Amino acid sequence: TQLLEQSPQFLSIQEGENLTVYCNSSSVFSSLQWYRQEPGEGPVLLVTVVTGGEVKKLKRLTFQFGDARKDSSLHITAAQPGDTGLYLCAGAWGGSNYKLTFGKGTLLTVNP
Amino acid sequence: SQTIHQWPATLVQPVGSPLSLECTVEGTSNPNLYWYRQAAGRGLQLLFYSVGIGQISSEVPQNLSASRPQDRQFILSSKKLLLSDSGFYLCAWSEPRISGNTIYFGEGSWLTVV
């Protein structure tokens, strides 16, 4: 069973600060997704990465996929209270391309 | 565009009672369909997935079952609920046979077993 580890589990910062959260596995991903979830709602896709070394930017969010496709990071610049939520990474491996395994998430709180 | 709906949004059921959560997807054909459960607002556990009508794969042994009577309909059921079945249930879909698989989630259903 492939496992995804996310760190940190909890993060509380002040508005305007930068932060990075991580997603790691001992296995090679065929693809990796980042989702953001607000309380009582379903997760919403932020980005999908499939190529080792890939970097994608979404406004103040920067996503990086490791060269070996075993890890990923999400960096937020100048965090805002609206960034508060649970950030989940999810990976697919090899032939199970239609199944995703989720990490436990990083719960981010941005204080005004 | 594709949409996904699941219902009911909130459910409070006594122990031993049956359960039926329903999910439908619109705007796509032959989607992969999924049921996930999320405990304590953290990671998602895959319960069932389906790649076609009548094709159900179970990921973990449990008190639940799933059915796919139509191409875009996915149902989560139980004959007798347990307290441990409480949680946040999420239906989801993805395009079949697409690399870089991306899953799109419904709004979720809160189940409280009392």
The minimum CA-CA distance between A62 and chain B, rounded to whole Å, is 18
CB-based contact A104 B94, cutoff 8 Å: no
Picking from A35, A102, A104, A109 by the largest number of B CB atoms within 10 A of its own CB, the best residue to mutate is: A102
Tens-level pLDDT at each residue, chain A (112 residues): 568 899 999 999 999 999 999 999 988 888 899 999 998 899 999 999 989 999 999 999 999 999 999 999 999 999 999 999 999 999 887 665 567 888 999 999 999 9
Using 70 as the pLDDT threshold, list the residues of chain B that sit under it: 41, 61, 97-101
| Cβ contact B44–A88 (<8 Å) | yes
Task: Give strand pairing partners of B113.
Answer: B13
Provide the β-strand partners of residue B22: B7, B75
> What pLDDT, in 10s, does the model give residues B2-25?
899 999 999 999 999 999 999 999
CA-to-CA distance for B87 and A25, rounded, in angstroms? 26
Nearest to B41 among A48, A86, A101 (CB): A86
From the candidates A3, A100, A106, which should be mutated to test the interface with B, based on the most B CB atoms within 10 A? A100
Q: Tell whether the torsion through CA atoms of B3, A105, B108 and A111 is positive or negative.
A: negative
DSSP A52: T
Question: B76 vs A58, B83, B99, B106, CA distance in Å?
Answer: 35, 17, 27, 14
Asked if the C-beta of A73 comes within 8 angstroms of chain B's C-beta atoms, the answer is: no
User: How many CA atoms are closer than 13 Å to the CA of B63, on its beta-carbon side?
Assistant: 16
For every residue of B10-73, DSSP letters joined together read EEEE-TT--EEEEEEEES-SS-EEEEEEESTTS-EEEEEEEEETTEEEESS--S-EEEEEETTE
Task: Decide if A70 touches B, using CB distance below 8 A.
Answer: no
